Amino acid sequence: MDIQTIAKWIVDHPNQIAVGYFAVVGVASWIVKTFPVLKADSWLLPIIKFIGKFIAVNKSVSDAGRPQ
């Protein structure tokens, strides 16, 4: 698979790319909203912090209430 094939697929399928992107962002926002506060020893804490910082759109859940 070469770069031209990949570029052609991207140009030919913008709707599928948009749907996939918004699905990932929507699920990430839901996860961050569902788990606003976690205990410091929770195994989910690093995952939720990463999602909340880089992926989720809904930034209303702040890191102020979360353990560092």
DSSP 5-64: HHHHHHHH-HHHHHHHHHHHHHHHHHHHHH-S---TT-TTHHHHHHIIIII-S---S-GG
What pLDDT, on a 0 to 100 scale, did the predictor assign at position 8?
A: 96
> What is d(CA 6, CA 54) in angstroms, rounded to the nearest whole number?
25
**SS3 of residue 1 by DSSP:** coil
Task: Identify whether 9 is part of a domain.
Answer: yes
| Domain span holding position 45 | 3-59
Please name which of 56, 57, 31, 55 lies closest in space to residue 44, comparing C-alpha atoms.
Answer: 31
Structural domains in the chain (count):
1
Task: Identify whether 35 is part of a domain.
Answer: yes
Please check the confidence at residue 41 and state whether its pLDDT lies above 80. no
Please check the confidence at residue 63 and state whether its pLDDT lies above 60. no
- pLDDT, mean over the chain: 81
pTM for this entry: 0.64
Q: Which is higher by pLDDT, 64 or 1?
A: 1
Percent over 70 (pLDDT), the chain: 84
